[in-house]
Amino acid sequence: MKIARILPLAYGYLWTAALVNLSPPFYPALATARGLAAWESGFVFSAMKIGMFLGSVSMNKMISCFSPTRTYLIGQCLTLLYCGLFGMLYWIPAKIFLWLSILAMLIGGFSMIIQNITMYAAVTLLYSTKRGTLIAIMEAIFGIGLMVGPIVGGALIGLWAFPLPFFVAGMLQILPFPFIALNGVTPKERLAASPTAHDTQAPKQNLQLRRLILDPIFLANMVTLMLAWVIIGFNDPTLAPHTEQFNLNSVELGAVFMIPAISYALGSLTAGLFCHLEEPVFGVRLDCAHRIWHGGTIHLFLFLPPEVYYGARV
């Protein structure tokens, strides 16, 4: 059954998202305790994006060499390694703290992106219709993972210390490993099928993909995505240090990082609805309105004093 193949992938996607949003709330405090400057923490978070870039450009060759299933399983194992390394930072001395942080983030970004790309390739292969709606649902699952990561991470840190949420999330994300290794991420009959007329058109399709770089609409969408990641990249190393003046505990700090994830999940479901109704133009207009509102409000809290939020506690 198709759903039996998708559920383990969706489960892994959820915990991948949780790991993406697990380090920004809690790593900066540990980095500050080890003597890292703000720009050094920012470089650590950039290392994850560099790892994602390296994973993205390596995917085609990896799938050709290892198959989609093996590529996905390699990603799961590397993600487990990332969780172990990042959790161990709690005991690492200041001399090598920065370099091990960068190494862990590179591995994490590389591993998580190859999992995600393989998952999308498998899901869109299984469901050839309504792909926009399906991708929106998967992105909503990613948003739920972004919510789970910081709030559960804060609770686990409250139970013990910094390493616990990374160790727990690492073990949880690899649970589907045996099922995926046994059944694969795509139906075996499709992988073993003989080439079709559609396959013989691959060189022509590759040429069309290269021409996308000259498409102004495609470029505009890519710039929009890039700017969204710029905003996220700005928040990763700076938001948690800014909230220190509010005297938040680990759960409350996780809740702060959970709020944008709620919008992410709701936005994904909204996009899925527009895809299902085949109303993309209205969806784009709504997205533009949201970005205008987002730019004027979401950064406003950075300039407000603690009394606005926690007047009774300050």
Average pLDDT, the chain: 81
pLDDT in tens, 127-144: 767 777 788 888 899 999
pLDDT in tens, 81-121: 999 999 999 999 999 999 999 999 999 999 999 999 988 88
Helix (H, G, I), strand (E, B) or coil at 16: helix
CATH classification number, 2-187+199-310, choose in 2.70.150.10, 3.40.430.10, 1.20.1250.20, 3.40.1190.20: 1.20.1250.20
* CB-facing half-sphere around the CA of 302: CA atoms within 13 A: 11
pLDDT in tens, 26-47: 999 999 999 999 889 999 999 9
Return the amino acid letter for 192.
A
Among 35-44, 127-136, 191-200, 242-251, where is mean pLDDT lowest?
A: 191-200
Residue 102 in tokens: 């960068």
| End-to-end C-alpha distance for the chain, whole angstroms | 56
Distances (CA, A) of 259 to 61, 98, 111, 144: 37, 29, 26, 11
**Cα of 1 vs its chain's centroid, Å:** 27
Read off the pLDDT of each residue in 184-205 and give the average, rounded to a whole number: 53
Helix (H, G, I), strand (E, B) or coil at 184: coil
Residue 106 in tokens: 């590179």
User: Global pTM?
Assistant: 0.82
The secondary structure of 66-109 as a DSSP string is H-HHHHHHHHHHHHHHHHHHHHHGGG--HHHHHHHHHHHHHHHH
Residue with tokens 């021409």: 211
Residue spans of the domains in the chain: they are: 2-187+199-310
**Cα of 243 vs its chain's centroid, Å:** 23
